[in-house]
Chain A
Amino acid sequence: MSPRYDQYRRFRNAFMSGLFVLCAVLVVSPLALILFHLLREGIGALNWSFFTQLPKPVGEAGGGMANAIVGTVILLGLACLVGVPLGLLGGVYLSEYGSERWNVWIRFGADILNGVPSIVWGMTAYALVVVPFKTFSAYSGGLALGFIMIPLVLRTTEEVLVLVPGAYREAALALGIPHWKIILHIVLRTARKGIITGVLLAMGRIAGETAPLLFTAFGNRFWSHHLSEPIAALPLQIFTYAISPYDDWHRQAWAGALVLIFLVFCLSTGVRLLSADRKKNRAN
């Protein structure tokens, strides 16, 4: 091995290392860019009326996204009603019951469902609810989002439950506690932080979903008085305003985006706080 070649190898090593650093920088920069622009464009339009008023008609300045913010919260609630029970109980089944042979297929299926484009869930909810009832509604929007939640919560729940040590199950069995009570009161209780984490993560994911709501919740310029009416949602409103030709609406779209990303980050920071808590407890 000549020293020339060694020099070349060292140079190549340094070059590649530099390249990888560059990759990391490039990957991280979009986040910096988008946060920067969100803050710059959005902060200006954030004021009290933004949070409390309804959208004004086209051409009139001002107005807000109050109904969209409330609508997002309502849709999240409806989605959880669908997604959490089914996902949680399904995860319990995979972890505590079932034969390993079939469970592999259920897991595989859930993983594939997690990759289905969200607009397809919108089409499903449309065919299932909007068509028979001949109206767009919060119900259909919540259902579409709930469809997305089910496989998500199922997988995270199962992953957490499997981590509960078998020693606790054994100890409970030896006390003569029925199996289902063991699952409910001991296993689920031990895993509760992880389960909540999974649910919060799923909520953070669906809070930003627009496509499934385009033809289910549909959006509303006014307050919805009933869940069977079309309902406004933050991502929908941002989309509508963004593609409109009005500058004022553009500014409000940025403000709405700021609020939305704040909501999403809150949900995932909640996750981080909970899991940091868990790490501390485990260290004890």
Chain B
Amino acid sequence: MPGSSVQATLRPASTTRMARSGLGDRFFQSVTFLAAMAIALLFILVAYLLYRGSHLSIEKFGWRFLLTSTWDPVAEQYGALPLIYGTVVSSLIALLIAVPLSIGTAIYLTDLAPLWLRQPLVSVIEMLAAVPSVIWGLWGIFVMVPWLRDHAFPLLKRYLGFLPLFQGPIYGVSMLAGGIIVAIMILPIVTSVSREILRAVPDLQREAAYGLGATRWEVTRIAVLSYARRGLMGAAVLGLGRAVGETMAVTMVIGNRPEIARSLFAPGYTLASVIANEFTEATTDTYLNALFELGLVLMGVTILVHILALILIKTIATPGSRHA
């Protein structure tokens, strides 16, 4: 723009990018460039090493690997299906529990909570996110699982026992316990991302609804939630990505039995758990390769889920991308 003083722009670094000259600049730029390339390198490294570590298994079993429902290393049977099943079910349970709670909390934080309460609440949620997985697992084994076994599960069985989901023997460690603990662990991230999404909704939307005489809940439902729908889905998918990769806490409460059972009270096993438990015990090459292949599946699923989540979230987070 002719004549206007080129002061701090939206992307201030853009005015200095062309100011390169001299040896020092070229060297420094190369060094930082190589560091940034570490990202690409990490992708290549992981993909290559996982593939190389699993190629025996891939060659031997092919696609059957993903569909065989027996995981019995002793008998040299490597089927990933029970593990995939376990990962999917525990993650779904976690989503069903966590997503409504998180979105509800996010709504509370953005629209309902008194101002003095907001920052402390956000801090509490950040602290929740900081608790390591193994500590959740510890608490899970000694506090949550006994409580579930002695109180919650019998209640569920009594009132919902007509469903095959809630039948069968109760051990405490179970698919449901795994799902619950993962739910607790993904609450913080889904809440904070949801909150960001809701905050990105322009006030104009809310004001328009208020102007029509809507109640608070109606404003939220009409003006905020529908506008933010895609972003909230993204938050949920992000939670799914986290849930799929959860390892330690799940391992400690899910029972670690590679079976596909209909009951949620039955023990289960996830992709990440089996790697955690059996990696150091893998005596044969085939065994290790099979575990690497599970890692490859886990990585593939996680990456796909995250790409989906990022796309969903970024389409709402870009300012001005939506018409009023």
List residues of A whose CB falls within 8 A of some B CB. 9-10, 12-13, 16-17, 19-24, 26-28, 30-31, 33-34, 37-38, 41, 85-90, 92-98, 100, 106, 108-113, 115-121, 123-124, 126-128, 147, 150-151, 154, 161-162, 164-167, 169-170, 173, 178-184, 204-205, 207-211, 214-215, 218, 235, 238-239, 242-243, 250, 253-254, 257, 260-261, 264-265, 268, 272
Contacts and interface: CB of A to CB of B under 8 A. Distances in A.
Give the most central of B38, B309, B310: most A CB within 10 Å.
Answer: B38
A139 to B, nearest CB: 16
B131 interface: yes
Nearest to A263: B132
B302 A123 contact: no
A179 B112 contact: no
A283 B100 CA distance: 38
15 contacts: A20-B107, A28-B121, A31-B128, A31-B131, A33-B139, A37-B142, A115-B245, A116-B299, A118-B245, A119-B276, A120-B298, A126-B279, A127-B50, A208-B134, A257-B134
A250 B141 CA distance: 10
B41 to A, nearest CB: 9
Contact of B299 (A92, A110, A120, A254): A120
Contacts of B143: 33, 37
Contact of B33 (A97, A127, A215): A97
Interface in B97-142: 100-105, 107-109, 112-113, 121, 123-128, 130-139, 141-142
A171 to B, nearest CB: 11
B49 A123 contact: yes
In the A-B complex, the 9 residue pairs with the smallest Cβ-Cβ separation, listed nearest first, are A208-B132, A166-B12, A117-B245, A23-B104, A89-B35, A93-B32, A180-B28, A13-B215, A90-B35
Contact of B302 (A97, A110, A116, A169): A116
| Residue among A19, A30, A111, A170 with most chain B CB within 10 A | A30
Interface in B200-236: 215-218, 220
B12 A162 contact: yes
A266 B201 CA distance: 34
B151 interface: no
Given A119-B295, A242-B138, A111 B133 contact: no
Nearest to A257: B135
A217 B102 CA distance: 35
B33 to A, nearest CB: 5
A173 B143 CA distance: 61
B13 interface: yes
Nearest to B301: A117
B49 A235 contact: no
A126 B280 CA distance: 11
B108 A127 contact: no
B135 A211 contact: no
Given A90-B36, A173-B19, A214 B131 contact: no
Contacts of B133: 208-211
A239 B238 CA distance: 27
Contacts of B24: 178, 180-181
A235 B134 CA distance: 7
Interface string B1-15: 000001111011101
A205 B132 CA distance: 8
Interface in B38-77: 38-40, 42-43, 45-46, 49-50, 52-53
Most buried by A among B46, B109, B112: B46
A34 B249 CA distance: 13
Contact of B128 (A30, A90, A120, A207): A30
A260 to B, nearest CB: 6
Given A89-B36, A209-B133, A239-B248, 16 more contacts: A12-B215, A20-B105, A20-B108, A20-B112, A24-B113, A27-B191, A93-B32, A106-B40, A120-B302, A167-B7, A169-B13, A169-B15, A178-B25, A179-B25, A235-B248, A265-B130
Contacts of B32: 89-90, 92-93, 96-97
Nearest to A82: B38
B272 to A, nearest CB: 5
B272 A265 contact: no
B78 interface: no
Nearest to B183: A30
A183 B306 contact: no
Contacts of A239: 134, 137, 248, 252
Given A109-B43, A166-B15, A265-B130, A154 B36 contact: yes
Nearest to B49: A127
Given A9-B215, A108-B310, A165-B8, A27 B125 contact: yes
Contacts of A178: 21-22, 24-25
A124 B41 CA distance: 12
Contacts of B187: 27, 30
A38 B138 CA distance: 10
Contacts of B142: 37, 41, 242, 250, 254
Contact of B9 (A121, A166, A265): A166
Contacts of B113: 24
A101 to B, nearest CB: 13
